[in-house]
């Protein structure tokens, strides 16, 4: 026994040393320019060391219990958090296009005082970043990336705690921890790893779910606050407020989750005299309390009203769901030599498999074929039935605003991560009979290791999923800033497949620059057909325009998309266009002033 403990101590020490080595090597290898893949840009030694750490974490988590398992869970959580932190560790200037640049703009608004936190519908992430910037002296860009990491940590901490509370076993906690390392809520369709508040809020959701389970399961009078209030009710309320501030969509999902559980409790009390649910504290009051809080916060917000009206109009439009978008994407993938089936396998296969395992486990629980006690079966029933209204919301979103539907999938997979962890513990526990414990543990380690590899290689966007990494270099942002500061006579901007508007948010502030017209409402990118035909004067509706192209644009259009829309020849030919003058030029950013067709 002493030798085994010594061996486990040594193995865990090697795992933590591997993480430290990975971080040190990554930190000493900052990017020299734009990286179109964070995976290939990060040193191989970093990935080897992180792989070793995760292998140790998986093996010890599955094969041990008690303190050694806790240490392995901490090791695995640290390794995955290190991967999430790579943009910070490797000193990326910024990471994230689109919404991320707009969120950076809101941070700038807070710092400049052009907007107060309470004026923004979801100021949580931005307030944390502003605090880090003002208190820590780091740049706003870096502060926002650090804030993303801080909001990620609760996910890997609370998921295994919830699984342990539900099942009462270390095996369920261990497998749930491993499932959390897969980061299944990120799908890179509508949820992303980076400054993206809807996605960031998903990682705070387990705090609210843990408080819910604890409120239901821990009923001792010793844990009561004055007036008989449970401390877990207070924790649930605070978690709900936190979610409201990070992103209200995920907070309202928690309200729906609580409402579903309250409904199940009501039905159980109507049907049974002696069932664990009958004795559980009602969740009706917390659901109503958080629901009212959401309504009060959202009703007065114009942004929420616009989003809601967009959802309603989408429900009644003729182009229902994602059919046309999927058709276009499928055609583009075919031209690139890929397919939707291949892309689905890369991005969603593990999620689909674990979702199926969780569903079969729920069915087995209802049939009485699991070793869960009555309380554990009740919690599984709670979580499973809560997926019904959450799935209904997915359908509504899918018919109205498909992007919101895939955000809803993100929340659903927070719940399924917990259920799948418990399910895997029961599955491989059952296999100890025919395979013996060492055999079942070995099979489990191989299975979850394969899942980890498949999910972590799609944690960030990369050419593997036909999207270059959204790396914003300092030189690239400086180029856009210069372009914006030296604009003449409100001339319009047009990009090489990507407009300048979001960089305008980051430069001026999203609120401060809201009145600035960057592209005349014409889309922000040059017209593909005219540009490729060499008709540069007509490439932006005949108007005078600034043509901008960054290293990211080139990587996306020429390398990842393999010149599907834009060609390198057309980009080079503009150098010889007599009506185009190059104004800014660097390795990361170029801008031309192009004279349009006289009216």
Together in a domain, 293 and 343: yes
Together in a domain, 450 and 521: no
Together in a domain, 519 and 451: no
Question: Per the domain annotation, does 453 fall within a domain?
Answer: yes
Cβ distance 114 to 77 under 8 Å? no
Together in a domain, 433 and 539: no
Domain span at residue 298?
Answer: 2-465
Cβ distance 591 to 584 under 8 Å? yes
Together in a domain, 421 and 480: no
Question: Per the domain annotation, does 599 fall within a domain?
Answer: no
Domain end: 432, 465, 498, which one?
465
pLDDT of residue 318: 46
Q: Give 360's contacts (C-beta < 8 A, 6+ positions apart).
A: 423
Question: Per the domain annotation, does 229 fall within a domain?
Answer: yes
Together in a domain, 191 and 288: yes
Please give the model's pTM, rounded to 2 decimal places. Answer: 0.94
Together in a domain, 411 and 501: no
Together in a domain, 444 and 480: no
Together in a domain, 460 and 481: no
pLDDT of residue 417: 98
HEC-encoded secondary structure of 23-87: HHHHHCCCCCCCCCCHHHHCCHHHHHHHHHHHHHHHHHHHHCCCHHHHHHHHHHHHHHHHHHCHH
Question: Per the domain annotation, does 540 fall within a domain?
Answer: yes
Q: Which residues of the chain have pLDDT under 50?
A: 318, 320-328
Together in a domain, 25 and 76: yes
Cβ distance 548 to 590 under 8 Å? yes
Count: domains in the chain? 2
| Rounded-to-5 percentages of helix, strand, coil across the chain | 70, 5, 25
Tokens 């409120």 sit on residue? 215
Domain end: 441, 465, 489, which one?
465
Q: How many CA atoms lie within 13 A of 403 on its CB side?
A: 9
Question: Per the domain annotation, does 312 fall within a domain?
Answer: yes
Rounded Cα gap, residues 253 and 250, in angstroms: 5
Together in a domain, 238 and 276: yes
pLDDT of residue 541: 93
Rounded Cα gap, residues 558 and 50, in angstroms: 32
Domain end: 465, 482, 498, which one?
465
Question: Per the domain annotation, does 514 fall within a domain?
Answer: yes
Together in a domain, 114 and 169: yes
């Amino acid at each position: 026994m002493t030798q085994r403990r010594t061996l486990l101590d040594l193995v865990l020490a090697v795992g933590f040393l591997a993480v430290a080595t990975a971080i040190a090597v990554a930190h000493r290898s900052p990017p020299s320019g734009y990286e179109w893949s964070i995976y290939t840009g990060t040193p191989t030694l970093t990935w080897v060391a992180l792989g070793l750490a995760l292998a140790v974490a998986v093996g010890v988590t599955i094969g041990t219990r008690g303190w050694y398992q806790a240490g392995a869970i901490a090791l695995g959580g640290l390794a995955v958090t290190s991967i999430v932190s790579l943009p910070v560790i490797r000193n990326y200037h910024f990471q994230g296009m689109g919404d991320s640049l707009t969120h950076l703009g809101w941070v700038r608004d807070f710092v400049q005082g052009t907007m107060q936190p309470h004026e923004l519908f979801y100021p949580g992430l931005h307030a944390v970043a502003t605090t880090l910037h003002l208190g820590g002296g780091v740049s706003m860009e870096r502060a926002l990336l650090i804030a993303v990491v801080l909001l990620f940590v609760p996910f890997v901490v609370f998921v295994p705690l919830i699984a342990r509370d539900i099942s009462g076993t270390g095996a369920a906690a261990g497998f749930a921890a491993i499932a959390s390392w897969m980061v299944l809520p990120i799908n890179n369709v509508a949820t992303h790893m980076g400054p993206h508040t809807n996605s960031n809020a998903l990682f705070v959701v387990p705090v609210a779910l843990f408080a819910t389970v604890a409120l239901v399961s821990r009923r001792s009078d010793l844990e009561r606050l004055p007036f008989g209030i449970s401390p877990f009710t207070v924790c649930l309320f605070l978690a709900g407020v936190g979610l409201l501030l990070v992103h209200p969509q995920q907070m309202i999902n928690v309200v729906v989750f609580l409402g579903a559980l309250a409904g199940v409790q009501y039905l159980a009390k109507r049907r049974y005299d002696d069932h664990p649910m009958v004795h559980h504290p009602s969740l009706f009051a917390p659901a109503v309390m958080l629901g009212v809080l959401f309504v009060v916060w959202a009703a007065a917000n114009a942004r929420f009203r616009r989003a809601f009206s967009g959802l309603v109009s989408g429900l009644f439009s003729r182009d229902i769901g994602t059919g046309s978008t999927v058709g276009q994407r499928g055609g583009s993938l075919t031209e690139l030599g890929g397919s939707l089936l291949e892309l689905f396998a890369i991005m969603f296969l593990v999620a689909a498999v674990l979702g199926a395992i969780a569903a079969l486990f729920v069915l087995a629980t209802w049939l009485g074929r699991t070793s869960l006690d009555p309380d554990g079966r009740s919690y599984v029933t709670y979580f499973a039935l809560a997926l019904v209204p959450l799935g209904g919301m997915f359908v509504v979103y899918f018919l109205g605003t498909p992007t919101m539907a895939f955000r809803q999938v993100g929340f659903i997979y927070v719940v399924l991560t917990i259920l799948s962890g418990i399910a895997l513990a029961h599955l491989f526990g059952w296999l100890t009979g025919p395979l013996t414990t060492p055999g079942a543990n070995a099979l489990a380690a191989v299975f979850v290791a394969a899942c980890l590899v498949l999910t972590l290689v799609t944690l960030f966007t990369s050419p593997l999923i036909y999207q270059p990494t959204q790396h914003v270099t300092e030189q690239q942002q400086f180029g856009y800033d210069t372009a914006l500061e030296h604009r003449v006579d409100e001339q319009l901007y047009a990009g090489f497949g990507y407009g300048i508007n979001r960089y305008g948010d980051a430069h001026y502030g999203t609120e401060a620059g809201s009145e600035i017209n960057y592209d005349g409402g014409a889309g922000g990118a040059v017209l593909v057909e005219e540009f490729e035909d060499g008709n540069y004067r007509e490439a932006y509706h005949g108007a005078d325009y600034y043509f901008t192209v960054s290293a990211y644009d080139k990587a996306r259009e020429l390398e990842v998309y393999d010149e599907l829309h834009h060609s390198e020849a057309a980009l080079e030919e503009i150098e010889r266009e007599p009506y185009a003058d190059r104004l800014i030029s660097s390795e990361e950013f170029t801008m031309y002033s192009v004279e349009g067709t006289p009216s």
